[in-house]
Structure 1
Amino acid sequence: MWKYTGKERPEFAVAPGPGQESVWDYPRPPVLVSTEELVEVNDAGVSIAKTRRALRVLETASPPTYYLPEEDIDWSQLREIAHHSFCEWKGQASYFALVDDPQGRPVAWLYANPSESFAAIDRHASFYPARVQCVVNDERVRPQAGEFYGGWITDRLVGPFKGEPGTGHW
């Protein structure tokens, strides 16, 4: 069972400054929040996605994950791969690689039939900022530590963040 659920910020959490958010104030279970921020995804200078209609998943200890509507994604740049995962909150995810990547490393995932509480992210995809360039309002996103996680770290966030060394017990 999780000790931290966003109800009380732990002593080791960084206090947010003006205009910042603490990931320790995010709830567990997570919530969806819409944003009108300009969200862009590129690879080697080629645009993969661009939107002002993203949804952010906010969960205790994790940087937000941005989900972009399928209409704002250039699917000709991506191909589905034979990889799936299951999230206790959202359901089963399908994964996508860049079309020109012979190794088929996943760069994006989506929930084609998410759980009822996350129905709004149906046919929305998120991207790994460690594998493609993700940008929010002209700020290059930094990836969340850990190979599994896909959180988007920007200057407005303070942590520490799940996935960093020593966070396995969270």
Structure 2
Amino acid sequence: MVEGMSESVWDYPRPPRVEPTARHIVVRHAGQIVVDTHSAVRVLETSHPPVYYVPPADVAVPVRQTPRRTFCEFKGVATYWDVAGVTDGAWSYEEPAQGYEALRGMLAFYPSRFDECTVDGERVTPQPGDFYGGWLTSDITGPIKGGPGTLGW
């Protein structure tokens, strides 16, 4: 992304696109750094703010797989993880669908469940609702899916 430029979530594709990003992604919780990386990939999907997936090597705390699973029509079966005392705070695609191989084993974090998530030092606003887990920053414009009355978009 070009510094100072904004992105509309309505310009993002469906099915979603996965792209590498060098943006600085940090997750903090309970007084500790959970994630600190410049090696994330982001998923961009129509009407959603980006979701950042980080390499497990850049997660500074232990994670524990939980029994929860969900299914995405594009990416496949999601596996959930307890992180830093947060139940199901992160998810991954251990065997992603064709076209989403770059997500294999990468972890995405719900910004609403952690004390602070930042992109290039800017504090993230969680995507409305708690289903999608997008990271909303000042350079992302909407309207954004997730709030009341938007699930049918």
Q: Same fold (TM over 0.5)?
A: yes
TM value normalised by structure 2? 0.92
- What CA distance in whole angstroms lies between the structure 2 residues aligned with 1:31 and 1:106? 24
Q: Residues 45-64 of structure 1: CA distance to partner in whole angstroms, max 9, x if unpaired?
A: 21111111111100000011
Alignment of 1:79 onto 2:64: yes
User: What SS does the corresponding residue of 2:13 show, helix, strand or coil?
Assistant: coil
CA contact (8 A) 1:144 1:152 kept: yes
Inter-CA distance 157–99: structure 2 relative to 1 (3 Å threshold): closer
2:89 — aligned with what? 107
Structure 2 stretches lacking a partner, 5+ long: none
**Are 1:125 and 2:98 matched, yes or no?**
no
1:94 pairs with 79, 97, 110, which one?
Answer: 79
2:107 and 2:134 map into 1 onto residues whose CA distance is: 13
* Aligned-partner SS, 1:163: coil
Query: Structure 1: where are the runs of 5+ without partners?
Result: 1-17
1:139 to 122, 128, 136: 122
Between structure 1 and structure 2, the one with the greater Rg is 1
SS in 1 for 2:150: coil
Q: Is the 8 A contact 1:79 1:99 kept in 2?
A: no
Which shifted more, 42-51 or 57-66? 42-51
Query: Superposition RMSD on alpha carbons, in Å?
Result: 1.3
Cα distance in 1 for residues equivalent to 2:84 and 2:32: 12
Letter in 1 for 2:68: H
Match of 1:117, SS state, is coil
TM-score of the pair, normalised by structure 1: 0.83
